[in-house]
Structure 1
Amino acid sequence: MAEAHEAVAFEFRVGAEGVNLNVSYDVFKALLYAGLRSWKLRCRRTMNSLYNTIYPGHPLFGIASCGIVYGLNTKGHDPSNGLIDWLDLHIFKRYFTPDNSKILACIVFGTGAYIVLVQIRQSALKKLFSYHGWMYQEHGKKMRFGTKLWGSLVKLLIGRNPSLYSYQSVLPTLPLPSLDDTLRRYLRTIRPLCNDEEYHRMVTLAEEFRETIGRKLQRYLWLKWLISTNYVSDWWEKFVYLRGRSPIMVNSNFYGLDTAYVRPTKIQTARAANIVCAAFQYRNELDHQNIKPLMVQNLIPLCSSQYERQFNTTRIPGKETDKLVHYSDSHHIAVYHKGRWYKVFMFYKDNLLQPCELQIQLDEIIKDPTLPCYGEEHLGALTAGERTLWAEAHQTYFSTGVNRSSLEAIEKAAFTLILDDEEYDIGVLQSNSSLSSINNENTTDKFDTYARSVLHGKGYDRWFDKSLNFIISKNGVVGINVEHSWADAPVSVHLYEYMIAEDIVNFSYDELGNTRGTPRFVALKPIKLKWLIPEACNNMIEKSLAQAKNLYENVDLHVYVHNAYGKGFMKKCKLSPDAYIQMALQLAHYRDSGRFNLTYEASMTRLFRDGRTETVRSCSIESSQWVKSMENPTVTKNERIKLLRRACDYHQQQYRDAMTGKGIDRHLFCLYVLSKYLEIESPFLQQVLHEPWKLSTSQTPVTYDDQHLKRLMAKNPDVVARYGIINSHSLVPLGGGFGPVAADGYGVSYIIATEDLIYFHISSNRSAPETDSKRFGQRIRQAMEDMRALFDEESQNVDGFYEHKKI
């Protein structure tokens, strides 16, 4: 493809024939419109910020307050108890006429009174949001009067039309647990992992820590808590993510897969165009704060701060620590195809491109016969290898000249789009009647290959530093690779589900599988990025690729689809689906390893401002007692059920504690960071922070906005009929996963897709003789079967026990 434009608007040359000024008018106009859009966006953000400052109040109520005060004053009533007259006499009469000064005095008092009322309302909401007794209310039991009163007050004060960030200022601060409580809970969690001698050693270390440096570190941490909006999140981002020097590919980045039930087109550029335009539409909703904050029970808001860096964000390598850079706006995406990088503008005359217009640009890239520049094909491997090597290359070879401008085109892009040159032949599920064939070896291998490709690709065909990589296979299957430091999985899932719904139901495709619509104009063509890679830099690229290859070839990734039953059965057994699955993982892991191991389950702390995650230690005294009973043939079925219920109840208790700021691991982590700052050695903290998580787990949430989907379905009944879309379950993705945390452990991510279907994404290292991901998938299958067998007799009497239902 011959390049239509250079990456700059002006080209200035001085030669023998004089001065030559070449202006690329299309790019120049694009820059002007980009500036105009950025100015509009800044104004909108300023207005939103002012609106959020007084929420749940409203500017109109403030104006009404001023009008009421003025009306009362003119009728001879003084609601200010003399303050309006004082303002009128001592301030405004010096500069204005008597009538105008009186009006201004009323406006100032009315505005001040309204602001005070708003502050009182916000303070009351913050206090109400600090109460978490509602979370511990048992399902099925009559709600306590105090909880009912609390709920009524929240409904009265919460407001009716919040924007995304409206509740940020009224969210409570993450509480700092007491040192004694954290140590007591910690010792309880490790009891099933230790023999008597090991346990008593840890008790002694904990007691020594408490009586020596523990109190001192706690006081310092209290000072940090006092001056921080969140005493954990900044250190968590800095030390867990950005200070890590090992590759972020596999070790940090995570992935998400396409929906299982609808495959709308096999045309790569059409699917890519719809996905990209849907993502920009979502970004526009974010910029205008039109997306509603996620609410627990439609009552309690979750912190939305992680949404801020979703787009236009990149991770910049450093020799000792990376930094996360977020740009306020971006008007283009970076596209990778067959070793070449392109800059693709997404706006034309301040208008976002429609999918049909973007597909034309992407088709140009696909048809481009140009070969990659020297070193360009494997350039992305720098983001996949060790961070120190990439930092050195970044500083030495990409800080000036053409390499700098091309690299900035990638780093400043809204996100990267990868047009893969491989096909993912994973088929499509039509209904649960076809689920019985999912777990045959051929289908399983296809899922595994697909997941591995999205997780790491070839080590060079992703830009792992970007916040988002959208990957489109040659036959139109979608995947997403996410850099982890800027946010946690639920935020990306929210975006991904929105995009899938917009892609399939709203934008959709014509009969041939191309995007719908007619182009309105001839948009700018893609700009192929130029690179001048010296031999020394290329050697660093190849070294980084070798590191990445060694890493990803060691990954053993398996997608196990559990279709025998799902959360519908678990609810009939009156057990929490998440706790049920965690117990199944405990049983499977015990059978796989022959012992109990430290287990990590991620829990959110977004009930608090700037909250991220906390650890739920799923291996407990209660879970170990139940697992042992399952392996003991002398224990009766009723006793096993009793122990399972107890284990699930305790797990739920731990999960609630973690969500409400009473977790263990983030508190101990912060104490450890303080000990390093103060150069104090603690044998106890060293032991705690270096214990390996042999089983690291996470549930991928399903956060579909059903109202949004219903609106799309009502708008496009022909698309609904064509693809057989009944509800949000039809568009639930296959979930996603991450690499193993421990060298000889498992990483397990699962998504409860429907009432009858659960996807498990299992990762481990091939170099570890103790682990095998497919074997562990079979362990999970057997554990789930054995757990269902516990309830067979009683469940047969509950609504016919269990039936497959079509989605």
Structure 2
Amino acid sequence: MAEAHQATNVFDEHKRGVELLYSDQGIRVSFTIPPPWELRQRALRSYFHMERAIRHRVYPAPPLAAVAVMVVVIVLVVQADADSWLRSGPLATVVWHIGNLLVPFAQYLPRSFYLGYLAAWTSFLGVLLLMWVQRMVLRLLLSYRRWLYLAPREKSSAVLLWGAVLKVLGGRNPLTYSFQDALPRLPLPALKDTVARYLKSVHPLLSAAEYAEAEQMAADFVKNEGPKLQFYLYLKSWWSSNYVTDWWEKYVYLKGRTSLMINSNYYALSNANLEFAVTKQRAAMAAALIHEFMLFKQDLDREQLAPQLIRGIVPLCMNQYQRLFSCTRIPGREEDTLKVFTHKSKHVAVLCHGRFFKMPLFAKGEHGRLLTKCEMQRQLAWIQETATALAPASSAEQNLAALTATGRIEWAENRERFFSEGVNKRSLQAVESAVFVVVLQDDHPADWTAMGRDMIHGSGGNRWFDKSFNLVVYKNGLAAINAEHAWADAPVLAHAWEHVLTTVTYTRPFDAAGDVVPTAASERTSALPSCRVLDWNFAAGLGPAVDKALEEAQGAIADFDLKVIRNDDYGKGLIKKCRVSPDGFIQMALQLAYFRNAGTITQTYESSMTRLYRDGRTETVRPVTDESKAFVLAMEDATLPLAAKLQALQAACNVHQDGYRNAMCGKGIDRHLFTLYCVSVGFGTESPFLKSALGRPWRLSTSQQPQQQTPNWPKVFKSIEGSKYTPKDLICPGGGFGPVAEDGYGVSYMIAGEDAIFFHISSKKACPTTDSLRFSQDLLQAFADMKALCGAV
């Protein structure tokens, strides 16, 4: 029909605001005014936003103190004589002049009112200036790093004085983001220093001829293209809050085109003892976990979550927490985007028996009170009953999430083709805008390895890999997490997960039957908000697309090899007897195990955080050094005495610890080289040195997982007193990730107290030279052999 070809353009697709349309018949403008309840919510949000902004600006002074200063200044100015310095001095003259410019009708105002007005904003600006100076001094103090290089029991008068001043200027009861403006920028290392550190790191990996070639490329780089690239990177370090983070997020994560499953997403488990569960009722456990996550989110939204501090005084950057909830990675053909659904995210998406449900979390729609745990259990019970009563979902519907496991280009094309309109668009929006995804799983794992495998990939079709995280609750009440990596690094989610899990464990909000104990709020007679099944239209080829995605995912799953183990022989308690850092000791054990496993030494990646700086994420520690190589060879030399091997271990660990500290302090190697390469690509500059340096594979990728980031553990251990369980049963085994290289290993480890260490070892079955079980055996043997060194002290 001819009418269908008329040009009609919509400039604004929002439901509220101004809408401008034009066609052949003319131009139409429509205004949509939000309903009163939304205007009220907008006003409240604006008020709280302004209130927090003021608190940030005047911190560490309380807002009431700032108001008191303003009142005192106003009274002094109003009551002062006309010829006093408060009203006629040099400062007063400037203020009068600015005031007359800003308020040209000032002569018509009452004199006392105008004086009070000028005194109010002048005193407020004075408070802001004073607090700005305080933050600059705090930033200078936070740039000091001598404390990080002290030995465990070493004391320094300068560090003690620094800590005392920092504690005073740091204030009391800070908001979540109070320290953000005071955190220093990540420093840009000198070009020659980074190149020298790089050459030192590859020396044990190269032959004499290869090293000479690397030295020549490095010298040419420093002489030719390097200074230009460094200059532009220096400019970026001044105009951005962090010269690494935006490019790292964009090029390492969001431009990655491979599947998120196994390759990028990671997982976190719950309790070490898989028989321990606070309740065996799946709906009750899920309700308690969802409720605690929502309380954590409320603290975060209100900035009532205390910022993380090292040693109680040194703040870490909290910026990554802003995308913990209601965040989804949206696929694109060339680059993905991270979208946070802030005020419209008031529900969770629940996957049960192959069907997605939308479960509201607030009693009065979008802006009511948070449902109680008991009410949430009732909602989840309804979902379980409904999912069971309905006819079995089709294979395509059961495995719809497999689309998020495909390559990013394929998923972007399928998303645009099948989810751009109608019921599919609405249902997809419900999943993507959810606070997080909850998976109610009908089975339960038999051991850590089975649980780790299930968490990192599931069936291939029952994890929405794009969400910031999926909370999976098993039939027996156990729970675990699958997390997308682009929005933040593992310690952020680990902090929230530890808080939620430990809180549910020690509060035990369940009765003898395992159900949530009702509260007064949950006994209200008001009807609960309705959950609903999300419908999908599988016509037009969506079903075959899901089947193809599932087949690809299951192929990757079949190739994935994982082994989760615990070294119970000893932990950091015995390691300390060697007078080395536990992390250094473990890294040397990994080097020894890899050498025995592969017959060679390989370039190794260890992740370190740079959150001592604003918007910091991670830096690479390179555990392979001349000293670590000497230790490995010493351990394989049966003629050397234990004392010589111990000396080699201590030397290797000391060098490793310095490398770790340097990485935390912005003196790493790899992020600097990475950003130099980004500049070179931007300018079209060829750099053989950078291509060579960044092209070396990481066949051993490792990461230590944080533990005890919350103060809840004493309460948790107290809650099991008199039971058959011990603290060892409740310690989290940590989590893991996939291998970085096709012919390499991914090793994540958790130091669980004084007597145990967990390892998550991954590899690819298609590679004939890697085997996760064999590596775990080599690792345990390395620990057994190194135990003798601790006894030689």
1:486-537: per-residue Cα shift (whole Å, max 9, x none)?
Answer: 0000000001011102222225311011111153343123210011112422
Q: Which residue of 1 aligns with 2:642?
A: 637
Q: Which residue of 2 aligns with 1:58?
A: 62
For the residue of structure 1 that corresponds to 2:530, the secondary structure is coil
User: 2 CA distance for matches of 1:238 and 1:693?
Assistant: 20
1:142 to 155, 161, 167: 155
User: 2 CA distance for matches of 1:237 and 1:78?
Assistant: 55
1:119 to 132, 154, 160: 132
**Alignment-mate amino acid for residue 398 of structure 2:** E
Instruction: Single out whichever of 506-515 and 652-661 deviates more from structure 2.
Output: 506-515
Shift of 1:139: 2.5
2:703 to 698, 705, 710: 698
Shift of 1:68: 3.3
For the residue of structure 2 that corresponds to 1:336, the secondary structure is strand
Q: Which residue of 2 aligns with 1:21?
A: none
Instruction: Single out whichever of 505-514 and 230-239 deviates more from structure 2.
Output: 505-514
2:73 to 50, 69, 74: 69
Determine if contact 1:696/1:747 at 8 Å carries over to the other structure: yes
Q: Which residue of 1 aligns with 2:312?
A: 298
Q: Which residue of 1 aligns with 2:732?
A: 733
| Runs (5+) with no aligned partner, structure 1 | 1-8, 10-30, 426-445, 795-807
1:304-331: per-residue Cα shift (whole Å, max 9, x none)?
Answer: 0000000000011111111111111311
Change (3 A) 1:417 1:32: farther
Residues 1:464 and 2:468 are matched in the alignment = no
1:384 to 405, 410, 425: 405
Q: Which residue of 2 aligns with 1:411?
A: 432
**Alignment-mate amino acid for residue 333 of structure 2:** K
Determine if contact 1:41/1:287 at 8 Å carries over to the other structure: no
**Alignment-mate amino acid for residue 47 of structure 1:** E
Q: Which residue of 1 aligns with 2:592?
A: 587
Shift of 1:164: 0.7
Residues 1:361 and 2:375 are matched in the alignment = no
Percentage of matched positions with identical amino acids: 40
User: 2 CA distance for matches of 1:577 and 1:361?
Assistant: 46
2:573 to 568, 575, 578: 568
Shift of 1:343: 0.3
1:314-365: per-residue Cα shift (whole Å, max 9, x none)?
Answer: 0111111111111113110001112111100000021111111111111122
1:331 to 339, 346, 361: 346
Change (3 A) 1:674 1:406: same
For the residue of structure 2 that corresponds to 1:533, the secondary structure is coil
Shift of 1:118: 0.8
TM-score (norm 1): 0.88
Determine if contact 2:58/2:127 at 8 Å carries over to the other structure: no
Task: For 1:378-777, list aligned pairs within 5 A.
Answer: 378-425=399-446, 446-518=447-519, 519=522, 520=524, 521-706=526-711, 708=712, 720-721=720-721, 731-777=730-776
1:81-118: per-residue Cα shift (whole Å, max 9, x none)?
Answer: 44346645863752422222232232233222212111
> What is the total number of aligned residue pairs between the two structures?
738
Determine if contact 1:254/1:482 at 8 Å carries over to the other structure: yes
Q: Which residue of 2 aligns with 1:278?
A: 292
Shift of 1:413: 0.3
| Runs (5+) with no aligned partner, structure 2 | 1-14, 16-34
User: 2 CA distance for matches of 1:372 and 1:393?
Assistant: 21
**Alignment-mate amino acid for residue 214 of structure 1:** G
For the residue of structure 2 that corresponds to 1:347, the secondary structure is coil
Determine if contact 1:88/1:101 at 8 Å carries over to the other structure: no
User: 2 CA distance for matches of 1:538 and 1:94?
Assistant: 75
* Superposed CA RMSD: 2.2
Task: For 1:774-785, list aligned pairs within 5 A.
Answer: 774-785=773-784
Shift of 1:605: 0.4
User: 1 CA distance for matches of 2:534 and 2:462?
Assistant: 15
Q: Which residue of 2 aligns with 1:94?
A: 107
Change (3 A) 1:79 1:133: farther
Residues 1:175 and 2:183 are matched in the alignment = no
Determine if contact 1:259/1:733 at 8 Å carries over to the other structure: yes
Q: Which residue of 2 aligns with 1:47?
A: 51
Q: Which residue of 1 aligns with 2:29?
A: none
1:345 to 355, 360, 375: 360
For the residue of structure 2 that corresponds to 1:471, the secondary structure is strand
User: 1 CA distance for matches of 2:472 and 2:441?
Assistant: 7
User: 2 CA distance for matches of 1:739 and 1:605?
Assistant: 23
Shift of 1:46: 3.3
User: 2 CA distance for matches of 1:639 and 1:767?
Assistant: 40
1:549-599: per-residue Cα shift (whole Å, max 9, x none)?
Answer: 111111110001111111111223322111111111111111111111000
Instruction: Single out whichever of 730-739 and 769-778 deviates more from structure 2.
Output: 730-739
**Alignment-mate amino acid for residue 55 of structure 1:** Y
Shift of 1:396: 1.0
Shift of 1:230: 0.6
For the residue of structure 1 that corresponds to 2:398, the secondary structure is coil
Shift of 1:548: 1.0
Instruction: Single out whichever of 183-192 and 70-79 deviates more from structure 2.
Output: 70-79
User: 2 CA distance for matches of 1:391 and 1:517?
Assistant: 45
Instruction: Single out whichever of 257-266 and 669-678 deviates more from structure 2.
Output: 257-266
**Alignment-mate amino acid for residue 218 of structure 1:** Q
User: 1 CA distance for matches of 2:579 and 2:342?
Assistant: 47
User: 2 CA distance for matches of 1:345 and 1:34?
Assistant: 18
Change (3 A) 1:343 1:197: same
**Alignment-mate amino acid for residue 580 of structure 2:** L
User: 2 CA distance for matches of 1:59 and 1:300?
Assistant: 23
Q: Which residue of 2 aligns with 1:3?
A: none
User: 2 CA distance for matches of 1:508 and 1:38?
Assistant: 35
Q: Which residue of 2 aligns with 1:5?
A: none
Change (3 A) 1:354 1:189: same
Determine if contact 1:555/1:764 at 8 Å carries over to the other structure: yes
Residues 1:321 and 2:335 are matched in the alignment = yes
Residues 1:83 and 2:91 are matched in the alignment = yes
Instruction: Single out whichever of 475-484 and 356-365 deviates more from structure 2.
Output: 356-365
User: 1 CA distance for matches of 2:173 and 2:43?
Assistant: 26
**Alignment-mate amino acid for residue 160 of structure 1:** R
1:62-97: per-residue Cα shift (whole Å, max 9, x none)?
Answer: 122223334544366746844346645863752422
For the residue of structure 1 that corresponds to 2:397, the secondary structure is coil
For the residue of structure 2 that corresponds to 1:791, the secondary structure is helix
1:778-805: per-residue Cα shift (whole Å, max 9, x none)?
Answer: 11111111111012244xxxxxxxxxxx
User: 2 CA distance for matches of 1:607 and 1:34?
Assistant: 39
Shift of 1:150: 2.1
Determine if contact 1:601/1:697 at 8 Å carries over to the other structure: yes
Change (3 A) 1:35 1:699: farther
Q: Which residue of 2 aligns with 1:23?
A: none
Determine if contact 1:374/1:533 at 8 Å carries over to the other structure: no
**Alignment-mate amino acid for residue 197 of structure 1:** A
Residues 1:212 and 2:211 are matched in the alignment = no
Change (3 A) 1:683 1:559: same
Shift of 1:475: 1.3
Shift of 1:40: 3.8
